[in-house]
Structure 1
Amino acid sequence: MRVFIGVRLPDVIKEQLGAVQEEVKRASLKGSFTDPDNFHLTIRFIGEVNPEQKGAIEAALICCTADQVPFLVETDGWGYFLKKNKWIIWLGIKENGQLHQLYDQLNAELLVQATTVADEVAFIPHLTLGRGIVLSQEWETLSKVPLPSEQKIPVTALTLFESVRVNGKLVYRPIADFPFNGQTIQSASSKPTNP
């Protein structure tokens, strides 16, 4: 199974991201746009794992979240990664020490459990709106489109997600939630769930 660790988003934030995403669609010739049900904040991509590795990841998540306290992050401006002349366009997250501390602690716990190697990719928290995008206008034009005022996103748990295809559609299926100072909550695995 292909997995990653992230933060679920409230439905109201998903709706606001959908409106922002429409601006990207209008400025694009083509691209693969994130399904609103799949909007999330990635904390750590893992990749393919076997059942033993999955158990170790869950153990790391239990340790990482045991003493965490909830906090808020806020959205920021437009951002992008450029890959082979195609764009990955996202909405950024304001610099947040608690979020970076959580990321560092998670990486440390994953290494203790010997489930992963050190993350060699810089942690740039963001909410992906679309991938493989070919813009029909200059980036500077799109980046000047006004965004809603900063949205506050509660970070109260980490979720282990599985990336699967369901009837040809990419779905990020929650496997289990790990609430801060709480108990693990297993998600229904028989069908995709909307966080």
Structure 2
Amino acid sequence: MRVFIGVRLPEVIKEQLVAIQGEVKRASLKGSFTDPDNFHLTIRFIGEMNPEQQSAIEAALTYCTADQVSFLIEPDGLGYFFKKNKWIIWLGIKENNHLHHLYEQLNAALLKGKMILAKEVAFIPHLTLGRGIVLSQEWETLSKVPLPFDQKIPVTALTLFESVRLNGKLVYRPIADFPFNSQASHSASNNQ
């Protein structure tokens, strides 16, 4: 199973991301846009996980969230990665010491548990709006579009997600939630 660790987003945040995504769609000839149910903040991509590795990942998550305090993150404008003449467009997150510390602590805990992880790339916190996008206008024009985003985003837990295809549709399915200031993990189905 293909997994990653991330942060779930409140519905009000997802609604604002849909509005921002609409601006990107209007500036695009084509692309694959993130389903609103899949909006999340990735903290660490793991890759393929077998059932034996799940307990090590959950132990690392329990350790990292046990003494963690909730905090807020703020959006920071549109950004992109450019691959094979196509764009991955996202909403960036302002520099946040709590978020970077959590990322570092999680990486250390996973490595201590001898987890074989996907290749690590630079941690650039972002909320993906779409992939494989072909723009119909210059990036500079799109990047100046005013964003209807006025809320800070609460980070109160980490979630272990599974990435699956169901009926041809990509779905990021929560496996388990790990609330901050809690010693025990809780089944994702109990927290939806």
Runs of 4+ more than 3 Å apart: none
Superposed CA RMSD: 1.5
Q: Distance in 2 between matches of 1:30 and 1:75?
A: 25
Once the 2 structures are TM-superposed, how far is the Cα of residue 148 of structure 1 from its aligned partner? 2.1
- The alignment status of 1:22 with 2:8, answered yes or no, reads no
Q: Distance in 1 between matches of 2:151 and 2:85?
A: 30
Is the contact made by 2:161 and 2:176 (CA closer than 8 Å) also made in structure 1?
yes
Is the contact made by 1:111 and 1:118 (CA closer than 8 Å) also made in structure 2?
no
Distance 1:55 1:165, change over 3 A: same
Distance 1:83 1:118, change over 3 A: closer
Is the contact made by 1:76 and 1:150 (CA closer than 8 Å) also made in structure 2?
no
SS at match of 1:188: helix
Residue 78 of structure 1: aligned partner: 78
Residue 184 of structure 1: aligned partner: 185
Residue 35 of structure 1: aligned partner: 35
Residue 133 of structure 1: aligned partner: 133
Once the 2 structures are TM-superposed, how far is the Cα of residue 150 of structure 1 from its aligned partner? 3.9
Residue deviations 1:25-70 (CA, integer Å, cap 9, x gap): 1111110000000000000001111001111111110111111000
In the superposition, the TM-score normalised over structure 1's length comes to: 0.94
Mind listing any 5+ residue stretches in structure 1 that lack a counterpart?
Answer: none
Q: Give 1:1-195 correspondences, 5 Å limit.
A: 1-117=1-117, 120-182=120-182, 183-188=184-189
Paired residue type of 1:162: E
In the superposition, the TM-score normalised over structure 2's length comes to: 0.96
Mind listing any 5+ residue stretches in structure 2 that lack a counterpart?
Answer: none
